[in-house]
Amino acid sequence: MNKFSVIVSIIFCAVASIAHAQETPAKQWEDPYATGFNKYSVRPIHTSDIMYKKTIIRAIDLREKQNLPLFSRNRELPRLIIDATLAGLITPYANDSLENGSKLSIDEFNALLIMPSDQPVYTPEDTLMMFQNEDYSYRTTSLGGDSFFPTDIYQMEIKEEWLFDKQRSRQYFDIDAITFYVPADHPSNIKGIQYAIASFSYKELCEKLFKDNPKAIWFNPQNEREHKNLADAFDLRLFSSYIIKVSNPKDSYLTDIYGGDQLKGLMASQWAAFELLEYEHNLWEF
């Protein structure tokens, strides 16, 4: 083998090693904008057209009067999503990152719907050991036997991107994910804290659950002829919410930024909404 062939072989091996090193992290973390478009977006905008972007988390209480159309009897939004998940139509995720590694199995999803319990559960081994040893500490489980009803799950969060499209000269609220929670104040929640059940891709909900589904409606209490599909209702912002997080270096909630003070957190939420409105206004003003 001549020198030229040896040099070519060395260069080829070096390039292959670099390519492999660059490929490995890409498999560990999926960039939703890898193609230039957000793969979770219902109406994606190319990154080159995005002049300004903020990631926002909004909290929604489905018991609020303005949100009751999303929570109409037997057509509650949580009911539709739980039923579709158990039927295998949509995919549940452990968090709103929606990465492949955070997918939940049906068994894991079912377990999260079961009410926690502080009552001891005895196994046959426990019974035998208690007869033999009075001081025996039996094993317990944190799960009860009953599941939460869809009407029990009235707390949810929306993860969305606030975008300004310089091509169309307008702003968009682009929803990525919806997350449902067991409320902290629910009498059956012995944990006393709000905890997540699952997150869902909003795009998948629109395509596989909301589209052409007569049960997926925003109930119009003023005119039954004007019920709207849930996808249209979210597009039209027909819900009441408040901002609890705006993208920041520490990934902190607004309440945490102000030392856990709920009142200051609420004021910060209103101020964050005002700042977003003012930003768009100033673009047109100047």
SS (H, E, C) 68-122: HHHCCCCCCHHHHHHHHHHCCCCCCECCCCCCHHHECCHHHHHHHHEEECCCCCC
Instruction: Tell me the C-alpha distance between 161 and 57, whole Å.
Output: 9
Segment holding 225, helix H or strand E: none
242 within domain boundaries? yes
35 within domain boundaries? no
18 within domain boundaries? no
Number of domains in the chain: 1
Instruction: Tell me the C-alpha distance between 138 and 129, whole Å.
Output: 8
pLDDT in tens, 197-248: 999 999 999 999 999 999 999 999 999 999 999 999 999 999 999 999 999 9
Task: Answer whether 140's CB lies under 8 Å from 129's CB.
Answer: no
Mean pLDDT of all residues in 80-89? 96
Count of CB atoms situated within 10 Å of the CB of 34: 10
Count of CB atoms situated within 10 Å of the CB of 273: 16
Closest of 151, 147, 146 to residue 75, by C-alpha:
151
Average pLDDT along the chain: 83
Residue 140 DSSP class:
-
pLDDT at 277 over 60: yes
262 within domain boundaries? yes
Six token digits for residue 55: 């990631």
22 within domain boundaries? no
Task: Answer whether 159's CB lies under 8 Å from 176's CB.
Answer: yes
Mean pLDDT of all residues in 30-48? 92
Count of CB atoms situated within 10 Å of the CB of 9: 11
171 within domain boundaries? yes
Question: Which residue is listed with tokens 């009441």?
Answer: 240
Task: Answer whether 177's CB lies under 8 Å from 159's CB.
Answer: yes
Q: Residue 44: is it exposed, middle or buried by C-beta count within 10 angstroms (0-12/13-18/19+)?
A: middle
Q: What is the CA radius of gyration of the chain?
A: 25
Instruction: Tell me the C-alpha distance between 111 and 120, whole Å.
Output: 18
Sign for the pseudo-dihedral over CA of 49, 54, 57, 60:
negative
pLDDT at 22 over 50: no
Instruction: Tell me the C-alpha distance between 214 and 72, whole Å.
Output: 13
267 within domain boundaries? yes
Share of the chain above pLDDT 70, in %: 79
Closest of 104, 101, 103, 105 to residue 29, by C-alpha:
101
Closest of 100, 84, 101, 103 to residue 92, by C-alpha:
103
pLDDT for 23: 44
Mean pLDDT of all residues in 260-270? 79
Q: At what angle do helices 77-86 and 106-113 cross, to 10 degrees?
A: 140
pLDDT for 193: 84
How many degrees, rounded to 5, is the angle at CA 212 between CA 203 and CA 80?
A: 65
Q: Which domain, by its residues, includes 111?
A: 50-115+150-285
First to last CA, the chain: 69
Mean pLDDT of all residues in 137-144? 48
pLDDT for 8: 45
